[in-house]
Structure 1
Amino acid sequence: MNRTTRFVLSTLVVVVLVAALGFIYASPYIVLNRVKRAADARDAQTVNQYVDFPALRASLKEQVTGLLTRRVDIQKSGNPLAIIGAMIGAAVVGPLVDSYATPDGVAAILNGIPPRGNFGEQPPRANDVPLAHSPPAPAPGAPTAQDTPQPAPQPSSPEAPKQPPMTTARYRGLNTFVVTYQHGAGDARYSAIFQRDGLVSWKLVAVDLNG
């Protein structure tokens, strides 16, 4: 083997190694994109590949219970009826967790709509928000949108965010990847937590409603 051949082989090895390391580093970002697209499409089979539902369910139960507990602590010196309401909310943690430990719930979590611990709360379903379509071009001589009275704007759903959340994603250690969501500077943050599942595969395992 001559010097040129050895140089070419060494270069190929370095290129392959760098590409492999780059792919390993980028793997949680790739998984995040895949699971979000699958959840938005309510592709349960694909979502199941990237979500550890037992772990997510346990995390949701712990986080929502903690959320309600903090709410009671804040309201102890306030209206007793508010405290009773928070205690009733604690009794419905199970149904709330059940509703969020689903493809609908995963889609909500990855789109900036976390559980808030409200009575009867459920994540929005795929058909709750219709897809936007471009309006057809007006026929010649037809009145335009400026000439036609427009209906008053309808209030947005309280469950849907007014704008896409600000999102940051980063490693938290070698095997943990955290995606943090916040709608505005004054809004509470929350995080979706992914855990490494093999060399390049990751699974959503938890949420952190404290950010």
Structure 2
Amino acid sequence: MTRTTRSVITTLVVLILVAALGFIYASPYIALNRVKRAADARDAQTVNEYVDFPALRASLKEQIAALLTRRVDIQKSGNPLAIIGAMIGAAVVGPLVDSYATPDGVAAILNGIPPRGTPGEHPPQAGDGSPASPSGVPASGATTAQEAPKQPPMTTAGYRSLNTFVVTYRHGAGDARYSAIFHRDGLVSWKLVAVDLNG
């Protein structure tokens, strides 16, 4: 084997290695793009490949319960009305989690429309025939999470650790933010596993 041949082989090996490492690094961005497109198209089969629904459901339950607890703040208030509010809030958690642990819910989360913990709330649905009115209440009377934002949210995305990738959404400088959390599922596969409603 000549020196030129060895040099060419070495160069090819290095290029292949760099390309492989680049693909591994880019894999969560690719997964995010694919799951977002599939969720927007309500392609349940593809969404199932990129979402760990049991983990997402557990995360939503925990986050929404914490959101309602903060709202009512029973620990600091002995107010009986606060306790009644907490009981009503607890009844809201199950249906709200059920509505967001779906392709419609994933689409809402990835488009800047997180759950807000409102009774009767559900994510906007594709082709449900219930466009939101100016008050945010569809013709059917059920409340959507909120009106679709007029402008896309500001997003930042990046690795939190080797196996965790986080996408953070914010609509404006003073607005609350929240995050969608992906975990590595193999070398180049990623799944949406949680939301963090605190950002």
For Structure 1 versus Structure 2, the TM-score category normalised by the shorter chain is 0.7 to 0.9
Match of 2:157 among 169, 172, 179: 169
State the distance in 2 between where 1:45 and 1:203 align. 14
State the distance in 2 between where 1:107 and 1:22 align. 27
Task: Give deviations 1:95-144, integer Å, cap 9, x for gaps.
Answer: 100000000000000000000110011000012589xxxxxxxxxxxxxx
The answer to whether the Cα contact below 8 Å between 1:104 and 1:125 also exists between their aligned partners in 2 is yes
Task: Give deviations 1:147-204, integer Å, cap 9, x for gaps.
Answer: xxxxxxx737343223210000000110000000000111111000000000000000
Match of 2:193 among 178, 190, 205: 205
Identity %: 87
RMSD across aligned positions (CA)? 2.1
Q: Match for residue 140 of structure 1?
A: none
Q: 1:10 to 1:44 in 2, by over 3 A?
A: same
**1:14 pairs with 2:14:** yes
Match of 1:159 among 144, 147, 155: 147
State the distance in 2 between where 1:129 and 1:18 align. 49
Q: Match for residue 149 of structure 1?
A: none
Paired residues for 1:94-105 under 5 Å:
94-105=94-105
State the distance in 2 between where 1:128 and 1:113 align. 17
Moved over 6 A (4+): none
The answer to whether the Cα contact below 8 Å between 1:72 and 1:87 also exists between their aligned partners in 2 is no
**1:51 pairs with 2:39:** no
Equivalent position amino acid for 2:60 in 1: L
Structure 1: which 5+ runs fail to align? Answer: 131-153
Structure 2: which 5+ runs fail to align? Answer: 137-145
Task: Name the larger-Rg structure.
Answer: 1
Q: Match for residue 193 of structure 1?
A: 181
Q: Structure 2 length normalisation: TM-score?
A: 0.88
Q: Structure 1 length normalisation: TM-score?
A: 0.83
The answer to whether the Cα contact below 8 Å between 1:193 and 1:204 also exists between their aligned partners in 2 is yes
Cα deviation, residue 92, structure 1? 1.7
More strand by share: 2
Number of residue equivalences: 188
Match of 2:168 among 177, 180, 203: 180
Task: Give deviations 1:53-92, integer Å, cap 9, x for gaps.
Answer: 0000000000000000111118966986566334312212
SS at match of 1:206: strand
